[in-house]
Structure formats: structure tokens, C-alpha cells
Amino acid sequence: MFLMPTLLSDTNLFLWLDLEDPTPEEAKYVLEDLFHFHPLSIEDCVMISPSPKVVEYQPKEEDRFTPYLFMVIHAVDYSRKDGVFATKELNFFLGKNFLVTYHETPIRSVAATEEQAVNSSVHIARAPDRVAYTLLDSIVDNYQPALDELSLEIADLEQQALQSPTKETLNKIILIKKEVLHLRQIIGPQREVLARFARGEFKLIRAHMVPYYRNVYDALFQISELAQSYTDSLTGILQVYLNMSSNQTGEVVKLLTLITVITTPLMMIGTWYGMNFKDMPELSWKHGYWIASSIVLVSTAATYLYFKRRKWF
Amino acid sequence: MFLMPTLLSDTNLFLWLDLEDPTPEEAKYVLEDLFHFHPLSIEDCVMISPSPKVVEYQPKEEDRFTPYLFMVIHAVDYSRKDGVFATKELNFFLGKNFLVTYHETPIRSVAATEEQAVNSSVHIARAPDRVAYTLLDSIVDNYQPALDELSLEIADLEQQALQSPTKETLNKIILIKKEVLHLRQIIGPQREVLARFARGEFKLIRAHMVPYYRNVYDALFQISELAQSYTDSLTGILQVYLNMSSNQTGEVVKLLTLITVITTPLMMIGTWYGMNFKDMPELSWKHGYWIASSIVLVSTAATYLYFKRRKWF
Amino acid sequence: MFLMPTLLSDTNLFLWLDLEDPTPEEAKYVLEDLFHFHPLSIEDCVMISPSPKVVEYQPKEEDRFTPYLFMVIHAVDYSRKDGVFATKELNFFLGKNFLVTYHETPIRSVAATEEQAVNSSVHIARAPDRVAYTLLDSIVDNYQPALDELSLEIADLEQQALQSPTKETLNKIILIKKEVLHLRQIIGPQREVLARFARGEFKLIRAHMVPYYRNVYDALFQISELAQSYTDSLTGILQVYLNMSSNQTGEVVKLLTLITVITTPLMMIGTWYGMNFKDMPELSWKHGYWIASSIVLVSTAATYLYFKRRKWF
Amino acid sequence: MFLMPTLLSDTNLFLWLDLEDPTPEEAKYVLEDLFHFHPLSIEDCVMISPSPKVVEYQPKEEDRFTPYLFMVIHAVDYSRKDGVFATKELNFFLGKNFLVTYHETPIRSVAATEEQAVNSSVHIARAPDRVAYTLLDSIVDNYQPALDELSLEIADLEQQALQSPTKETLNKIILIKKEVLHLRQIIGPQREVLARFARGEFKLIRAHMVPYYRNVYDALFQISELAQSYTDSLTGILQVYLNMSSNQTGEVVKLLTLITVITTPLMMIGTWYGMNFKDMPELSWKHGYWIASSIVLVSTAATYLYFKRRKWF
Amino acid sequence: MFLMPTLLSDTNLFLWLDLEDPTPEEAKYVLEDLFHFHPLSIEDCVMISPSPKVVEYQPKEEDRFTPYLFMVIHAVDYSRKDGVFATKELNFFLGKNFLVTYHETPIRSVAATEEQAVNSSVHIARAPDRVAYTLLDSIVDNYQPALDELSLEIADLEQQALQSPTKETLNKIILIKKEVLHLRQIIGPQREVLARFARGEFKLIRAHMVPYYRNVYDALFQISELAQSYTDSLTGILQVYLNMSSNQTGEVVKLLTLITVITTPLMMIGTWYGMNFKDMPELSWKHGYWIASSIVLVSTAATYLYFKRRKWF
């Protein structure tokens, strides 16, 4: 926090300044007083913004800052408990000889990169574009556990939908679909931001670093393809679920019909000979009752076999 | 209203002229006689046009106007009562040293900006492109309450669809979907208009103002992403609703079947032994009635337990 | 019809020739012998072609025509009676100092423009690109009644679908959907044709006329947006309709179940004590009948109240 | 088949060589030994390839052929009997002064063009790009009968779906949908191939022939629009069909419920007074039977009228 | 494995090095120590990456490698047993005078190409771009059996869905749909990679080889069109299946209703005259029983004929 502006003017040095949950005063001191960043980028940095972006700031005559890239990117943190992706905003100010990162909550990727930078100072700490790459690479890598989690839950849902679809299954499908959608909404604009790096649009990223950024872009592209395939899987699962559920009603109707059909002979005979007409000759036939019983038995059995053969049960 | 044309020729001055619900004569005086705007832009300004646009007018030799940008943009005003987005048209004529705004109903953003311009004259009132930015920024900010309202109603609908789906739920879903669609129809072309500003296409917007316009564009982009996510949510809710509703029918059919199945043993035995055959030995068995009763009780209980185990109720 | 070729060579004059339902000889005389148009454009003009187009013809050495634009556009005529959009083809040959229009049936826009040209000759009749603009503008304006008609019918259908959905409602929805689709198929390519004018692609349209063509394009664009929103409305209405219709079946099933459930106690008791066993003690109980009646009444009332509370009716 | 290579070197002559179902030796002689075409184009020509293409071959130093265009296009042949589009492959090798066409089965368009070329040699036979145009034009024209056939069948299906939807209707809808899809799959890439001609991409097509190719492209474009509208119609018909079919089930359920409801009073009274309780005072009332009959009649009639008024039948 | 770096410096020689399942040491020796490939491409090569890519590496001053193309492509292997596409990754390093291929499992296409290269050394072995083409061509050819397999299974499913739709049919449809989706996910990015070759973007591919790569691209394009048509077929089959399945329920409901309707006359008469009213004159009519029987017979027959005529069975 107590850096000398003179330090910055030495172009041989490279400064990485990580602001984790700074007080407004600290933020103001660093971003405004020290680096004189463009007010718009400071506003974007301090406010929570749901979508990533990258803007290149070129100083005008009256401006006091050197050219820099401002970037907002979102790290993801998935925990099965809540079942929601928690995204954490990470802001970059990337200049020729400085990198300022700003975030309000601790981010694993930042912590890891810091450690790496301190320990193995040879490779990473040489330049801001390399540190930024390491951070981005680590952020993209951290999507993996979230994706694995989702993949497991989707496989689970597929089982459920096929074997025991309940109302909860539907809610779960809708919920996971929402999650995947959310994931895609996070990744989509991030991909666009990284594509600009991968195309080498920015002069502040040295040419030989561009393939590294392209690599990060490729990784993100694969994640977004995966997310797309999750959406397709879930649509399939939903179709299976809805079909299973309408199949169940179909089965119930079949059962109802079956019972009606099978009891029909008995009910008809029974009701018919329950009549009280004076003159019903069958009633006094010697074997009347046995004939009636036989008719009922035979026709019930016939019905039963008929539906058995048509594979109703 | 009583400005001297000489005022306009002084390029050091900057004029903001706000026409709120002017009479046709006033409008004609300002737009035609004073500024000599292109007849097409005057027509577009005076008529109600449902979609925003921006056109750059470059004077030809015979024309008497200086280059200017004509823009139509729509402010939004959402009130839960009617449940409809009321849009208000705001027309801009943006020149090098003048800004003419034209609207038929009072617009909050305009009033606020006017006040701001009068009070803190230092910052805003310096240039027409800055005032225009302030107006646009304020208009885009005013989308927020409408979005919050929608977000609440959608969460509400999700609850309803899952817990007590009624016909009204469907109507509500369809209605809100329409609203969101309407919102997207408003925002879509507006985004395209602002994208042209954000790309710095217009010379009348000074280069150092372009990042500000890009900021407005980004805000609008996020709103449009949000609207897209609302649409997706509503599609999910509709799916839940339709499933719940078909589930209800399924449950009713189950109940019908259950009752039929459970009463079947009693009805069969009852009907059968209601027959009046002379010779029905069971009828005169000593424990005939008790045997019949037991058969009915046992088979009814068995059926009951069977369906209980298959989780029918 | 009896124009001198010498007239055409005078570049200060401007000729508008309107061929309404000409005989093949007339058509041949004007298009081939007088103007020497390219055979392909003559073929396109004479034949009925379902989609609009615009082609720029540049003469080669051996050709005898001057550069011209050939355009096919469709005017629309909607009458509620038949419920179909009747489109009428209008062909333009637009040269530096001539405009030839060709159509087989009378077109309102052409008649109106002719009248306007004769009466107020000052403004319109000055140049072929201005007359062509007036014609196009009028054609696009004439879409409005058709759109209003559609809008009314869609509002009507929405009412019907919500309140009394019948088979006719479905047919009507499908029909109007077809109409809107047809409208969009007409407008789509027309928009593309006009977009080329709006971009100022053609040298025969003078630069200061381009904003006018852009205005026509904008109007068409708004119509096409409207048509899109009609499609979306109709999809929503269809969804409501299908849901109402499946709701109706659900209600019927509920009724069936309700009746079955409510009559069940009576039917069970009634059937049971209709048995003819010799020894059924309840039958000779003193208050047997009243006990049975009370059981039936109480359980029926209980069932009734239970379903009443669950809001089945 | 026995052409002299010397003939080809005379650039004033133009050769059209049509290979209809040649033996492998003939094909090899013409394509390899005589014209020295690029091996890839020979392979593409001899093999059956499902999608059209156009490739421009420019000779390298070591190559012995002159520049030429290789094109694969598919003619269509629709017969109601089988209900499938039979496509026939036609391969073009189009050079400055030669056209080689290769096809394995007789193609109507080729035969017709040959005849035309022999009879009216003045117009067509002048140049390979003109003959190629004539062939393409004829091929595209031959789509018309197939489209008319489809159009008829779709109108037919619409009738069926609305009036007497059966299982066969569904199969037919699915079948025709497949056909239309197939048609679109044929036309899609063909359009792209012709678009390249229409844009004048190929030097071997002389500039003044380009409008002719554009005309063929336009015709194909209209066909593809038509095919799109067929798809939309079929989707609509399917929706009608599915709705009619679910309506039928709804009607059946209504009937079932109606019968149950209407017979309920009689069944209740009938069952109730079939009980054998010793002491059932109503049974010995003087007008007991007539009262019971009246109750049944009145409540049945009331139920009947109630449902009649609710338009159940 | 024991090649001299001196060999590589001889630009007249061409080396193809195939690394099949190398040990990490071997891989490191060849990729790093011998060829000094860019670390990113080595990482991409050694790791499993689900999506194909192509990257051109241009050496910077400090780099020790010569320009090369790095490409990841996936060969496919379909066996009906598992019903899943097994993809095998193949990595290319393509330089001016070398080709290094790297894969972890044996790939048929590689083995075949090796054999071909050894036996008929004249044609293929001349240049790395030619060998790479042969490999790619062979890989694309190997998609064919997988496609044939899918095509068969889809035809099978269509039969099943129409004739005997069971739950298994649905699962099968969902499964095959997944497979086709997977296939499309593999082919999509591969097409994009090959498109870059077909456009001749890479200098390492000699101009006269580009048509060959375009040929491979065309083949892949046709496969992807086929896969698209499979998806459409499966969607159609699913629609048929769902309709057949809801039709079945409709048929069952029809049966239930039919039985209810047909037994109604008998049940009504039977129940009615089962009543025990003292004074029921019909019971003691002489032909009472026969009249009742006749009424039942006639009305049952009438009902039967009515539904027979309405084609209920």
C-alpha cells in the first residue's frame, strides 16, 4: 500500500499489486492517486458487474496515466451444498510494468498465483502479461470441479428419470438446467474477452505470450462446449421424464380398464339375475346357477388371456 | 423559445434546448426556422416511432443546417398496476454546439439531468455530447426498477407453478413473458444504436467521450442479457406448470383407479350373491355370509396394501 | 405509348411511363424496341415472380440501353373477407431520366402517386428516383391496414383461447399464423432490396435521396418487427389454447372421479345388503336400515367436504 | 469419343462432350488422356457424391490441362409412386473452349439442351458458359413438377388432419416432412454453388453471362423459400393433427363421464332399494315405486339438460 | 528414436516420426530435445484434449525450432457392442521437412498409411504435407462404418416406433440421439480446422496440395450434413413414438368407454328390476322378463352398431 510513485517510473521494475477487499480509502489512494486510472475503469472496478469485459485505455494529452488494459473476469466456486455457482469478480489493471488486481473476497487462484510468484520467482514474476496469464489459466482450471460436480448430478438425474421419476426429479432437472444456463452466461462473455487476447488485439500483451492466452481461450472454449452438451443432456432427460410420467398415467388407465373389463362378465350376470321378475325361467333351472357361474368363469378367463397376450400386464 | 440565430453562430457557446410537448408552431419554429433540420429528421421527431434509430445528417451545399446527429431513444416506465412497460420517446438533435431534445410527455431522466445541469454546471454542461451521455445514462439506469419488478414477479410465479398451479398462473406466465418480450424488443434496437456510439462511429462525439458511451452500451448489454435469462426462466416455469397440471390429472386418474380397484371385491361378491337363483348352495351355508365378508375384507386389505407399497398414495 | 425515342435522348427531360396490364405487343414495343432493356429484365418483368429483387444493368459495348435499375416489389392488399394477403407485383425500370413501371392489375399506390404527380408537379415529378421513392413509400404505407386487421384478429383470438376455446379457435390460430408467415415472407426479401437502396449502393439514386430510401427501409423494418411480434403472440395463444383444451379434459376426469367417489358408499352398502344369504343378521336388526342409511349419508358428506376443501369444485 | 487433341488446341472452336454412362475405359480416355484433368476432379466426377460443389482448377507448371471449372450438380426427378426425390448427378468440366458433361443415367435436361443445341445452333452453341447456363436453367426448371406434387400432397394432408386424422395421417406427415427436408438438403449447397457464379467469381464465365447465372440463382432461391414454407406448413399440420388426436381422447373421456353421470341416479336408487333389510318402510309405501321412478327421471333429465347447456354434446 | 539432429538439418530429406504410446522420456527426447517444439504445443500434445485444433508456430529469435504446424485431430472407432464412439487423439507436428505424429493407442489410419508409405514409396512419402493429407483422408474415410451403423440403427428405431413402441424404444432413441450429437461435436471443430487448410491459410502446405485438403474438407462436410439429417430423423422418430404412445392411452380410454357404454343398458335394467318395492307392476307382467331382455338386447346392439359405424373398433 505504501509504494512510491518513483517506483513506477522505473520501467525495469514490475509491480503486482493485489487489492483484496480494500477500504474505499485504500482503493481511492491506489487507483486514483497513485495510478491515475480513468474514472470509468475505477467505477467499473469498484462496482459489482455481472458480465466480464476488457477495455484498453490510451491516455490523452491531459491524462496522467500510462496505457493500460482494464479487465473484469469472474472466478467460479461451486459447492454441492447450495447448488449454485458463486462467482467472484476479479478486476485487472494491466500496464507495461504493473499489474493491479482488485477483488472483494479471497480468490483461490489469486492466492495460488501469489504463492507461486513468491516461491519460483524466475518464471512467472517477470512480466505483468505473464502473471495475468497465470491468473487466468488458474481461474479457468478452477471451473473443472464445478463441471465434474454437474456431470455427476446429471448422470444421477438420468438414472432417476428412467427408474423412479417423481416430482422432485422435475424440480431437480429444472434447477440443474438453470445452473448450466448460469454457467453458460458466465462463460459466454468471458470467451469473447479471451478471444480478443487470443487474437493478439492488445499491444500490452507481448506477441510471444499470445499463444498462451490462446491456450486459455481454447480451454474455455472446451468448457463452453461441455456446458452446451450438458444442456442437451438435460433436455433429453426432461423428455424422458415427461414421457415416463405420461407413461405412468397411461399404465394407470390401462389398469382401470383391465379391472373394468375383467369384472364385467360377473357384474352383468350378477346384476341380471338379481332382478325380481316373477317369471325368470333360468332362475329355476336345475343347473342355472352352475351354468351362470361357468359362463362368468369362462368369459373372465378368456378376457384375461386376451389381454395377457396383448401384453397389457 | 426565443433564441437568436446569432447565438448559434457563436461556436464557443453551447445550447441545450428541451422541447417538452411543444405546440406544432413551436416545434416548427425551432426545428425548421431556427435550426433548418432536414425534413426527414423533423418528420421522424414529430411522429411516434416504435423503434429507436440514429442518423447522421451531413449538409449538402444547398442545405442550411450544420452537421448533426438525430437520435430517437425510448425511456421506460414500469408500474406494477398496469403490468405494462410504458415507453416514452425522446428525440435528440445533437450538433457541435447545440443539443435539442424533443419529447411529448415529461421524462424523469430529462428533468433530473436538467436539474443537475443547472446546479452543478461545471461538469455536465460543458458540451452537448456530455449532456447527451448523461441523459442516455440516466435513461438506462431507469430500466433498473422495471427489471427488479419483473424479477420479483418471476420468482413469485415460480413458487406458484410449483405449489398451487391454477389457470391464473398460466395467464400470468403468458403475460409476463409478453412483457419480457416487449422489453427485449425495446432494448434490442437501442443496443444497436448505442453500439454505434460505443464504436466511435460519429465525429460529433469527441474521442474521449466514447468510453462513456461504451459504458452505457455495456449497461444496456447487461440488461439485455438479464432479459434473455428472464425469458429462459419463464420457459422453465411454463414447463413446470404444464407438468404440474398434467400431473394433477394423472393423480386424479390414479384416485379413480384406486377407488375402483378397492371397491371391486365387495362389488363382485355383493352383486354375485344378490342373484335370485333357486339353487345357490352358498346362500344357505351356515357361515356363508361370514365367509363372503372375510373374502371381501381380506382381498380389499391386500389390494390396499399392494398399492400402498407401490406408493400410490 | 407513342413516345418518340428522340424524347428520351434529351437528358433534361424526365419520363415516367406506367404500363398497366399492357398487351404483349405494347410491352414488347416499350421494353424492347423503345428502351432496349436487357432481355433478362424483360423476362423477369413479364413473368410473375414471387420474390422481390433489384438488379443493376450496366450496358456493355454492344448493348443499346443506358444504365438502369430493374426492381420487382410487391404491394399488399388485405381484406378480411378472404383472410389472405393478395400481393400485386410492381416492376420498376429506373434510369437517369426515365422511370418505367409495369403492373398487371391496378395498384392503389401507383394511382395515388400519378395523381399527386399531375397535381403538384413541383415536388415529385422532378426526378425518377424521387417518383420511385414516392411509390415505394406509398406501398409500404399501404401495409398498415393489413397490419391493423391482423392485430385485431390476434387480440380476438387471445380472448377466445382464454375464454371459450373450440376447435375453430385452433383452426383460426393456424390460419392467422400462416398469414403472418406469408407477410413475413413478403417483407423479408423486400427489406433486403430496400437495404441496398438505404446503403446508397446504386449510383442512379442521387446521394441526397438516400436518406429518403432509408426512411422507407426503416418503416419496413418496423413492420417486420411487428410481424415477428405477431408470430410470438400467436405462439403464446396456441400454448394457452392447448393448455385450456388439456385442462378441460382434466376437469372432465375430475368430474368423473368425483361422481365415482361420492356414489361409492351408497353403491357399496346397497350392493352388499342386496345379497341373499340366508343368515345376514344386520338385515333383521331393528334399526339396520337406518344405520345403513346413516353410514352412507355420513361418509358421502365427509367425502363431499373433503373434495370441497381440496377445491375440486 | 474419337476426338483429335488437335481440335482442342484450336481456340476458335467450341466442343461439348457429353459422357452418358461411359465405360471406365471411355471415361479414362476422355478425362485423363485427352483433357488431362486434375486427378481429384476425375475422382469426384466418377464417384457418387451427395453434395454439389464447384472447384476452379488453375494449372501449375507441370500440369498439362488448361484452366477449367469442375462442378457437380444434382437434377431432381420426383414421382408420386415412390414418394422420393431421385437425384441424378451431373458433372461439368467447363473450359474456355470446351464443356465436358458426365452423368451415369440419362437426364432430361441434358437431352433437351442437346436437341436445342443441334436445332437452333445460333444461340446456344456459341460458348461453353452459355450451354452450361442452359443446362443449369433447365435443371432448376425441372424442380417445378416435384414442387407442385409436394404442394398438392401438403394441401391434402391439411384436409386430412382437420377432418379425419388417423395414424396414417401422421406417417404421411412425417414422410412428406422428410421429403421436404431432403429437398432442402439438395438445394441448400446448390444455392451456394450458384451464388458463386452469380457473384461473378469465375473468370471462365464471361461478364455478360453473369446476369443469366444470377437469374438461375434467383429461381433456386425462390424454390428454397418455397421449401422453407412447406416445412412451416407441415409443422402447422402436425400441430393440428396432434391436437385433433388429443381432442378425440378428450371427447371420449367426456362421453364416458356423461354416461356415468346420467346413469348415476338410476343406479343409486336401483341399488339402494335392492337391499334386503327387513324393515325398509319405503318399499311398502303405496306409491314408493312411482316416487323412486320419478326421482330417477327428474334427476336424469336435469343432469342431461345441465350438460346439454354446457355444450358437452 | 535415435535420429541424428544432423539428419534434420538436411533439407532435402523428409522425416516422418510416428510416436505410438511413447514413454514420457521418449516423448521428451523427441519433442523437446530433438525438435525443440514450443512448450505449449508439447503440453497440448501430451495431454488429452477433447477438441481438435490447429496452431501455426513461427519461431522468435530466441526459439530454436523451425516453423511448424501443430494439429490435434480425432479418429473415430465405432463398435455396435458398446454403442459409443471411441475417439482416438492424433497429434501432428508438420514442418517443412518433417512430420511427427503422436498417439497413445494404435490408430488404423496411421498403420495403413505407414504400410502404404513403405510399400509404394514413390507417391506418398515425398513430402510431409502429402503424408499428412493421406492420414487425414484415411481418418475421414474411417467415419464411414460408424455412419453406416448409425443409419441402420435409425432405420431400425423408425420401424419400432411405428409398430411396437415400448419404453426401450424411447431409451434407444435418446441414446442414439446422444451418439449423433457426440459425433457432431467431434466433427464440428474438425471441420473448422480442415477449412483453414482448404482455404490455403498455411504456408507449410504447398499450393498444389490445397485442393487435396479441400477434398478432405468436402468429405467431412458431407458427413456433418449426414449427421444433421440423422438428428432430424431422430426428432421425427421421437415425435412418432410419443404420438404412438399417447395414441395407445387414447385407445385404452376408448375401450374403457366402449365397455361402459355397451354394458350400460343391461346394468340399468338389471339394477332397476332388482329393487324390492312391494308394488312394481312390471315384475308380475306376463312377458315382463322378455320385454326387459329385448330392450337390453336391442339397445346394446344399437349402441354396438353406432360405435362400429363411428369406427371405434
Flag whether residue D126 sits within 8 Å of chain C, measured between CB atoms: no
- Give Cα separations from E212 to D43, D57, E130, E132, E140 (angstroms): 11, 12, 9, 11, 13
Q: What does the pLDDT look like over A165-205, one tens digit per residue?
A: 887 888 888 888 888 888 888 888 889 899 999 988 898 88
Backbone angles phi, psi at B94, to 5 degrees: -110, 110
Flag whether residue E57 sits within 8 Å of chain A, measured between CB atoms: yes
pLDDT at E116: 80
Cβ contact E275–D267 (<8 Å): no
Does position E80 have pLDDT exceeding 80, yes or no? no
Q: What does the pLDDT look like over E129-181, one tens digit per residue?
A: 888 999 999 999 888 888 888 888 898 898 888 888 887 888 888 888 888 88
Flag whether residue E225 sits within 8 Å of chain D, measured between CB atoms: yes
Does position E300 have pLDDT exceeding 60, yes or no? yes
Residue A38 in contact with residue A65, Cβ under 8 Å? Answer: yes
**The C-alpha cell of C227 is what?**
410481424
Flag whether residue C208 sits within 8 Å of chain B, measured between CB atoms: yes
Residue contacts between D and E (CB atoms, under 8 Å): 112
Provide the β-strand partners of residue E236.
Answer: none
pLDDT at D81: 58
Does position B223 have pLDDT exceeding 70, yes or no? yes
What is the spatial distance between Cα B235 and Cα B249, in angstroms, rounded to a whole number?
21
Provide the β-strand partners of residue D89.
Answer: D74
| DSSP helix/strand/coil, B287 | coil
Q: What does the pLDDT look like over E187-203, one tens digit per residue?
A: 888 898 999 999 888 98
What is the spatial distance between Cα A136 and Cα A145, in angstroms, rounded to a whole number?
16
DSSP E23-66: -HHHHIIIIIIIT---HHHHHHHHS--SS-EEEEE---TT--SP
Residue E237 one-letter amino acid: I
pLDDT at A101: 92
What is the spatial distance between Cα E2 and Cα C300, in angstroms, rounded to a whole number?
95
Which of chain A's residues have a Cβ under 8 Å away from the Cβ of B195?
none
| DSSP helix/strand/coil, E259 | helix
Beta strands in chain E (DSSP E): 15-20, 53-57, 68-79, 84-95, 98-103
From the list E156, E296, E151, the residue with the least C-alpha distance to E223 is: E151
Residues whose CB falls within 8 Å of the CB of residue D105, separated by 6 or more in sequence, listed in order: D20, D21, D88
Chain E 136-175, CB below 8 Å of chain A: which residues?
Answer: 167, 170-171, 174
Select the residue of E253, E271, E275 nearest D252 (Cβ to Cβ): E253
Q: What confidence tier does D1 reach under pLDDT thresholds 50, 70, 90?
A: very low
Residue B64 in contact with residue B5, Cβ under 8 Å? Answer: no
CA distance D192 to chain E (A): 14
CA distance B28 to chain A (A): 39
Helices (H), chain C: 5-9, 24-27, 39-46, 108-119, 128-141, 143-163, 167-198, 210-272, 281-284, 288-309
From the list B52, B49, B7, the residue with the least C-alpha distance to B186 is: B52
Flag whether residue C274 sits within 8 Å of chain B, measured between CB atoms: yes
Cβ contact E283–A278 (<8 Å): yes
What is the spatial distance between Cα D185 and Cα A196, in angstroms, rounded to a whole number?
35
ipTM of the complex: 0.73
Which of chain C's residues have a Cβ under 8 Å away from the Cβ of B53?
218
Select the residue of B225, B243, B253 nearest A253 (Cβ to Cβ): B253
pLDDT at E259: 92
Q: What does the pLDDT look like over E13-71, one tens digit per residue?
A: 788 889 998 998 988 888 888 888 988 889 889 888 778 888 888 887 777 778 899 99
Which of chain D's residues have a Cβ under 8 Å away from the Cβ of C269?
275
Cβ contact B57–C211 (<8 Å): yes
Matching residue, cell 480451454: A219
pLDDT at E184: 86
Does position A291 have pLDDT exceeding 60, yes or no? yes
| Average per-residue pLDDT for chain B | 85
Q: What is the b/e burial string over D38-76, where b = at least 16 CB atoms within 10 angstroms of the residue's CB?
A: bebbbebbbeebebbbbbbbeeeeeeebbebbbbbbbbb
Flag whether residue C24 sits within 8 Å of chain B, measured between CB atoms: no
From the list D257, D244, A245, the residue with the least C-alpha distance to C241 is: D244
Residue D36 in contact with residue D64, Cβ under 8 Å? Answer: yes
Long-range contacts of C238-243 (CB under 8 A, 24+ apart): C238/C161, C238/C170, C238/C173, C238/C177, C238/D239, C239/B174, C239/B238, C240/B170, C240/B171, C240/B174, C240/C158, C240/C161, C240/C162, C241/C161, C241/C165, C241/C169, C241/C170, C241/C173, C242/D243, C243/B170, C243/B242, C243/B245
CA distance C83 to chain D (A): 17
Which of chain A's residues have a Cβ under 8 Å away from the Cβ of B243?
170, 242, 245
DSSP label at residue B29: I
Q: What confidence tier does A258 reach under pLDDT thresholds 50, 70, 90?
A: very high
Cβ contact E253–D255 (<8 Å): no
Select the residue of E254, E274, E277 nearest D283 (Cβ to Cβ): E277
Per DSSP bridges, beta strands E68-79 and E53-57 are antiparallel
What is the spatial distance between Cα E170 and Cα A23, in angstroms, rounded to a whole number?
59
Please give the model's pTM, rounded to 2 decimal places. Answer: 0.80
Higher pLDDT pick, E122 / E186: E186
Flag whether residue C248 sits within 8 Å of chain D, measured between CB atoms: yes
pLDDT at D166: 81
CA-based nearest residue in chain E for residue D296: E272
**The C-alpha cell of D303 is what?**
343432469
Angle at Cα B60 formed by Cα B56 and Cα B64, nearest 5°? 90
Select the residue of B214, B218, B229 nearest A185 (Cβ to Cβ): B229
From the list A218, A238, A233, the residue with the least C-alpha distance to A161 is: A238
CA distance E69 to chain A (A): 13
Average pLDDT over residues C282-309: 90
DSSP C92-111: EEEESSEEEEEESS--HHHH
Does position C40 have pLDDT exceeding 90, yes or no? no
Q: What is the b/e burial string over E187-215, where b = at least 16 CB atoms within 10 angstroms of the residue's CB?
A: bebbbebbebbbeeebebbeeebbbbbbb
- Between the CA atoms of C15, C20, C23 and C25, what dihedral angle is there, to the nearest 10 degrees? 10
Residue D123 in contact with residue D138, Cβ under 8 Å? Answer: no
pLDDT at B145: 82
Average pLDDT over residues C227-237: 88
Select the residue of D218, D249, D279 nearest C289 (Cβ to Cβ): D279
Chain B 181-200, CB below 8 Å of chain C: which residues?
Answer: 181, 185
Provide the β-strand partners of residue A101.
Answer: A18, A92
φ/ψ bin of A192: left (φ > 0), alpha (ψ from -120 to 50), beta (otherwise)? alpha
Determine the residue among A217, A220, A257 to mutate to test chain E binding: the one whose Cβ has the most chain E Cβ atoms within 10 Å: A257
Average pLDDT over residues D248-267: 91
Count CB neighbours of C311 within 10 A: 8
Determine the residue among E238, E289, E295 to mutate to test chain A binding: the one whose Cβ has the most chain A Cβ atoms within 10 Å: E289
Q: What confidence tier does A102 reach under pLDDT thresholds 50, 70, 90?
A: very high
Average pLDDT over residues B54-83: 79
What is the spatial distance between Cα A209 and Cα A207, in angstroms, rounded to a whole number?
5
Cβ contact A267–B264 (<8 Å): no
| Burial group, residue B191, by CB count within 10 angstroms (0-12, 13-18, 19+) | middle
| Average per-residue pLDDT for chain A | 85
Cβ contact B268–A269 (<8 Å): no
Flag whether residue B273 sits within 8 Å of chain C, measured between CB atoms: yes
- Give Cα separations from E267 to A270, D256, E293 (angstroms): 10, 15, 12
What is the spatial distance between Cα E103 and Cα E91, in angstroms, rounded to a whole number?
6
CA-based nearest residue in chain D for residue C283: D277
Above pLDDT 70, what percent of chain A?
91
**The C-alpha cell of B282 is what?**
352358498
Q: What confidence tier does C5 reach under pLDDT thresholds 50, 70, 90?
A: low
Flag whether residue C283 sits within 8 Å of chain B, measured between CB atoms: no
Q: What confidence tier does A69 reach under pLDDT thresholds 50, 70, 90?
A: very high
**The C-alpha cell of B234 is what?**
419463464
pLDDT at A182: 83
Provide the β-strand partners of residue A74.
Answer: A89
Cβ contact E49–A222 (<8 Å): yes
Cβ contact B283–C277 (<8 Å): yes
pLDDT at B1: 41
From the list A110, A182, A104, the residue with the least C-alpha distance to A147 is: A182
Does position C121 have pLDDT exceeding 80, yes or no? no
**The C-alpha cell of A280 is what?**
325368470
Helices (H), chain B: 5-9, 24-27, 39-46, 108-119, 128-141, 143-163, 167-198, 210-272, 281-284, 288-309
Count CB neighbours of E313 within 10 A: 10
Which of chain E's residues have a Cβ under 8 Å away from the Cβ of D288?
277-279
pLDDT at E256: 92
Q: What does the pLDDT look like over D122-164, one tens digit per residue?
A: 554 568 888 899 999 999 988 888 888 888 889 889 888 888 8
CA distance B203 to chain A (A): 17
| Positive/negative CA dihedral, A246, A249, A254, A257 | negative
Flag whether residue E292 sits within 8 Å of chain A, measured between CB atoms: yes
Does position A1 have pLDDT exceeding 50, yes or no? no
Q: What does the pLDDT look like over E246-284, one tens digit per residue?
A: 888 888 999 999 999 999 999 999 999 988 888 888 888
From the list A45, A40, A39, A4, the residue with the least C-alpha distance to A22 is: A45
CA distance E256 to chain A (A): 5
What is the spatial distance between Cα E48 and Cα E26, in angstroms, rounded to a whole number?
18
**The C-alpha cell of B86 is what?**
410504458
Q: What confidence tier does C182 reach under pLDDT thresholds 50, 70, 90?
A: confident
Does position C214 have pLDDT exceeding 80, yes or no? yes
Q: What is the b/e burial string over C133-167, where b = at least 16 CB atoms within 10 angstroms of the residue's CB?
A: bbbbbbbbebbeebbebbeebbeebbebbbeebee
